[in-house]
Chains A and B, each alone.
Chain A
Amino acid sequence: MAKKRNGKMHKGLQLTLGITMVLSLLLTACTSNGGSGNKDKTEPTQSAVSNTGGNDESKGNEGANKPVYPLNTKDTFSYWAPINGNLITFTTNLAEAPIGKAIAEATGVKVTYIHPTDGQAEEQFNLLLASSKLPDVLEYDWSIYPGGPEKAIADGVIVPLNDLIDQYAPNLKKMLEANPDLDKMVKTDSGQYYAFPMVRNSEGVVFRGPMLRKDWLDELGLQLPVTIDDWHKVLTAFKEKKGAAAPLTALYANKMNLQDAFFGAYKTSHGFYIDDQGKVKYGPLDPQYKDVLTLFRQWYSEGLIDKDFPIVERNTLDKRFLNGESGATVYLLGGGMGKWLESGKAQNPDFNLAAAPYPVLKAGEKPFTGQRDFKYNPKASAAVTTSAKDLETIVKWLDFAFSEQGTMMYNFGVEGESYTMDNGVPKFTDMIVKNEKYTSQQMLAQFTVPNGPFPMHEQKTTNTFPQQDEAVKVWAETDAEKHILPAFITPTVDESKKVAQTMTAINTYLEEMFIKFLMGNESLDKFDSFVKQLEDMGIRDVIDIYQGALERYNKR
């Protein structure tokens, strides 16, 4: 061990070398610890605000207590939010996008945006809460915080906004006073405000539904299907006459994403719903749920349902539709119908899609349920954390989105660039909707804020095809409003813990059993024992908890 080996080297040189080695090793040890430490992966943006005094139109004509934009402040803050998937093509940070720069210029505040890795927002959000250093603002789905927003306030994660809104957010305040139903959604049971909400416009609440290849229907001389039997006929024709390998397909995200299409025909749901008596129910426990399974089982065995349905991702869906492997699905208005019409027509001028109404058993019935969201979208709402320092600036900045000027900017971008006024109606320019290189979705992500804490303008539509306008009308024709359980009901802390534990196991079980029933690996005679298993796992307790939370919600 102790042999001297300084034969050829100078003493001082040796020491330097030793120390250098140590230092460099320590450095690498510190930097290469990249396991989960990408919480602070931000790129400080250098887009300094150059206020040349050009765009101050809305100055002066507002009330005395209203904040005047751009704010005269040196404050800055950090804003954590998932990045829009369509923006990634162009930039990794919202501050560098045209819309980010426009907002910074208009408000006079340079915000540092922090974006989690695309697709891992939920995990990173959870890790973030476990760390002690929070960004100043968190834009996320506060309804999934265990125990709800009220608990997040009690845990000292976010601050209640009631006083701050009173003082610094006149625009939001005005909106909440004018819309009591919205007010009820964005409060907790005890009346605390916790976030600046994303507010949808009246058309924006419906954005998903059943759609089919219209050109195939025309070619085969078929009508748009209305009843379950019609659907069976159409899907069979697609399979036999058009050679579709997977006539009906759907995105799979822990469940077949059908928005309760087909389930609704049997007056049930794939999850929790509210029945006609205002009681919370869990679909899989219903006897009629077995009818849905029987139907799907039959369709699957006839090859009408995508046989690979548990691994259908977004790109699979694109492939299925653009290669003529599928002729029907339940999917998004913009990211599905709009996108496929755009790329489908490029390949094949006849390519056409049409929205079908939610299926029913007998023609003339109104569909029991379907996709219908609420005005308030808790998924993209911004809460202020307890780490935030400059509360006044932050709240004023957040309120900008609710001012007239801000609403226009968030919805449409910059006038003359991304939109023009046409007889008082804002219209997107050709650069956005008829871009040679990029889809309109990609352009909108750069020049507007697709999702975030702002009110959607009543005249905002991102539809680029008349088929989409039609679709919104068709899909809205359901009784979903009465039967969908709001996402922002809030069980208490202990209840939430119970729900989380119970539902984790139940969701896994339901998912596996659903697949087995459909594929025929499990006989439908086992349905009763399946229901019993769900009850043994504690589903009744969860139903009771939700019932209580719903009643509290209705009393708000």
Chain B
Amino acid sequence: MAQLKLGRSKVAHAGRLPLNIAKDIVKNKYLYIMLTPVLAYFIIFQYFPMYGAIIAFKDFNPRLGIGGSAWAGLEHFRDFFGGMYFWRVFKNTLMISLYDLVFGFPAPLILALLLNEVKNALFKRSVQTITYLPHFISLVIICGMIKDFTSSDGVINDIIAFFGGERITMLLEPSFFRTIFVSSNIWQHVGWGTIIYLAALSAIDPEQYEACKIDGGGRWKQMLNVTLPGLLPVFVILLILDIGRIMSVGFEKVILLYNPTTYVTADVISSYVYRIGLQDFQFSFSSAVGLFNSVINFALVIGSNWISRKLNNTGLW
């Protein structure tokens, strides 16, 4: 730590705070100006609202406000953990997320690898366009389409009936819900997800492919030994980010697709919070549930990042 030197040096070393911040601000004022809106955004819209999480420990009354409501301690947490539906919503949240992670997460990577092998540029472009279009359709419309496709006179049942199967309203079958949910997720986002991989692919040094060819590697070998390792860092970072969302299944989609028959497999923590909190007016209770959810998410991100650093030295931080 050559602190004296550092103080006098014109250039701050990356990764260390410059000792003389005022000096640095003057010197890099444009960088700081560009930084302020981002900082302001996070403070105003992300950190400040966290204060509201206090109501999880209170008997919140809208008119008394957050400060004025009486403390309730851990009562709401006890109600939730001891409630009838705790294990169900907990399990469903995990299950849907895991399904999504196992089936949904690798899908864009696979599609990107496939597209990478396509030589015909026109075909490649049209496949890309077609696959990422659903990403831009509003969720409500997507769910309306899913309802139509899976209804007893919908297109999927037409196919089943054509092969002599029986028509069923799929959204009334608890055992189908996760499959419908996850496969429609893939349909929605697979094309969009490939974009980042394709961008990463273009960054791979062509010399490596050359080297691989000279060593006698065919296309398959090139993919295994050059393409995949090149995509690995991106893959891992995306994976960590996704694991952090494991407990927050997109509740809008759940709410749009579920119904009392499928609560058994479809009711997740966030949809439960929505029903109890907004529809039944129990703000404190639902905040407690939401807070519990966030704590788990937080732990998962920290944990997965730590594992990833241990395994292959890439991580978010």
- A residues with a Cβ closer than 8 A to B are 1-2, 14, 18-19, 21-22, 25-26, 29, 33, 122-123, 126-127, 129-132, 146, 155-157, 252, 254, 307-308, 310-311, 500-501, 504-505, 508-509, 511-512, 515, 519, 537
Nearest chain-B residue to A536 (Cβ)?
B84
List which B112-151 residues lie within 8 A (CB) of chain A: 151
CA distance A1 to B10 in the complex (A): 11
Nearest chain-A residue to B274 (Cβ)?
A123
Are the C-beta atoms of A515 and B283 separated by less than 8 Å? no
Using A19-B33, A21-B33, A511-B260 as known contacts, say yes or no to A126 and B281 having CB atoms under 8 A apart: yes
Are the C-beta atoms of B65 and A146 separated by less than 8 Å? no
How far does the Cβ of B166 sit from chain A's closest Cβ, in whole Å?
Answer: 12
Contact among B27, B29, B34 for A21, CB-based, below 8 A: B34
How far does the Cβ of B44 sit from chain A's closest Cβ, in whole Å?
Answer: 7
Nearest chain-A residue to B11 (Cβ)?
A2
Contact among A126, A130, A132, A308 for B172, CB-based, below 8 A: A308
Are the C-beta atoms of A1 and B172 separated by less than 8 Å? no
Nearest chain-A residue to B278 (Cβ)?
A123
How far does the Cβ of B139 sit from chain A's closest Cβ, in whole Å?
Answer: 15
CA distance A308 to B262 in the complex (A): 12
User: Can you list 23 contacts pairing A with B, beta carbon distance less than 8 Å?
Assistant: A1-B12, A1-B31, A2-B27, A2-B28, A19-B33, A29-B41, A29-B44, A122-B279, A123-B278, A123-B279, A127-B278, A130-B62, A146-B281, A157-B63, A307-B169, A308-B172, A310-B172, A311-B171, A501-B282, A504-B275, A504-B276, A509-B84, A515-B260
Nearest chain-B residue to A156 (Cβ)?
B63
Are the C-beta atoms of A310 and B276 separated by less than 8 Å? no
CA distance A129 to B28 in the complex (A): 47
In the complex, whether B162 has a CB less than 8 A from a CB of chain A is: no
B56-81 contact mask (Cβ, 8 Å, vs A): 1 or 0 = 00000111110000000000000100
Using A123-B278, A156-B63, A508-B85 as known contacts, say yes or no to A22 and B36 having CB atoms under 8 A apart: yes
Nearest chain-B residue to A18 (Cβ)?
B33
CA distance A18 to B31 in the complex (A): 9
Using A129-B63, A132-B65, A505-B84 as known contacts, say yes or no to A512 and B260 having CB atoms under 8 A apart: yes
CA distance A504 to B275 in the complex (A): 9
In the complex, whether B45 has a CB less than 8 A from a CB of chain A is: yes
Residues of A within 8 A of B171 (CB): 311
B208-245 contact mask (Cβ, 8 Å, vs A): 1 or 0 = 00000000000000000000000000000000000000
Per CB-CB distance, the 10 closest pairs between chain A and chain B, nearest first, are: A25-B37, A130-B62, A155-B63, A18-B33, A129-B62, A123-B278, A511-B260, A504-B280, A310-B261, A29-B41
Are the C-beta atoms of A500 and B281 separated by less than 8 Å? yes
Are the C-beta atoms of A33 and B45 separated by less than 8 Å? yes
Residues of A within 8 A of B63 (CB): 129, 155-157
Nearest chain-A residue to B264 (Cβ)?
A512
How far does the Cβ of A89 sit from chain B's closest Cβ, in whole Å?
Answer: 19
Residues of A within 8 A of B260 (CB): 254, 310, 508, 511-512, 515
- B residues with a Cβ closer than 8 A to A are 10-12, 14, 24, 27-31, 33-34, 36-38, 40-41, 44-45, 61-65, 79, 83-85, 151-152, 169, 171-172, 259-261, 263-264, 275-276, 278-283, 285
Contact among B27, B31, B283 for A130, CB-based, below 8 A: B283
How far does the Cβ of A467 sit from chain B's closest Cβ, in whole Å?
Answer: 30
Residues of B within 8 A of A509 (CB): 84
Residues of B within 8 A of A26 (CB): 37, 40
How far does the Cβ of A379 sit from chain B's closest Cβ, in whole Å?
Answer: 16
CA distance A501 to B34 in the complex (A): 49
Contact among B11, B40, B65, B279 for A29, CB-based, below 8 A: B40
CA distance A19 to B28 in the complex (A): 14
Are the C-beta atoms of B24 and A2 separated by less than 8 Å? yes
Residues of B within 8 A of A537 (CB): 84
Residues of A within 8 A of B276 (CB): 504
CA distance A519 to B174 in the complex (A): 13
Of B61, B260, B279, most A-chain CB atoms within 10 Å:
B260
Nearest chain-B residue to A307 (Cβ)?
B169
CA distance A310 to B258 in the complex (A): 10
Are the C-beta atoms of B12 and A29 separated by less than 8 Å? no
CA distance A509 to B267 in the complex (A): 13
Residues of B within 8 A of A501 (CB): 79, 282, 285
Nearest chain-A residue to B152 (Cβ)?
A308
Residues of A within 8 A of B37 (CB): 21-22, 25-26, 29
CA distance A22 to B37 in the complex (A): 6
Residues of B within 8 A of A515 (CB): 260-261
Residues of B within 8 A of A504 (CB): 275-276, 280, 282
How far does the Cβ of A243 sit from chain B's closest Cβ, in whole Å?
Answer: 14
CA distance A19 to B36 in the complex (A): 10
How far does the Cβ of A434 sit from chain B's closest Cβ, in whole Å?
Answer: 33
Using A2-B12, A22-B33, A22-B37 as known contacts, say yes or no to A310 and B65 having CB atoms under 8 A apart: no
CA distance A126 to B286 in the complex (A): 14
How far does the Cβ of B153 sit from chain A's closest Cβ, in whole Å?
Answer: 9
Nearest chain-A residue to B83 (Cβ)?
A505
Contact among B11, B12, B263 for A512, CB-based, below 8 A: B263
CA distance A512 to B263 in the complex (A): 8
CA distance A26 to B14 in the complex (A): 28
Are the C-beta atoms of A126 and B278 separated by less than 8 Å? yes
Are the C-beta atoms of A155 and B62 separated by less than 8 Å? yes
Contact among B11, B33, B65, B83 for A1, CB-based, below 8 A: B11
Nearest chain-B residue to A497 (Cβ)?
B59
How far does the Cβ of A195 sit from chain B's closest Cβ, in whole Å?
Answer: 18
CA distance A311 to B262 in the complex (A): 11
Residues of A within 8 A of B36 (CB): 22
How far does the Cβ of A304 sit from chain B's closest Cβ, in whole Å?
Answer: 17
CA distance A18 to B169 in the complex (A): 57
CA distance A351 to B38 in the complex (A): 64
Residues of A within 8 A of B84 (CB): 505, 509, 537
Residues of B within 8 A of A1 (CB): 11-12, 14, 28, 31
Residues of B within 8 A of A19 (CB): 33
How far does the Cβ of B35 sit from chain A's closest Cβ, in whole Å?
Answer: 10
Residues of B within 8 A of A18 (CB): 29-30, 33-34
Nearest chain-B residue to A325 (Cβ)?
B153
Nearest chain-A residue to B45 (Cβ)?
A33
CA distance A252 to B30 in the complex (A): 59
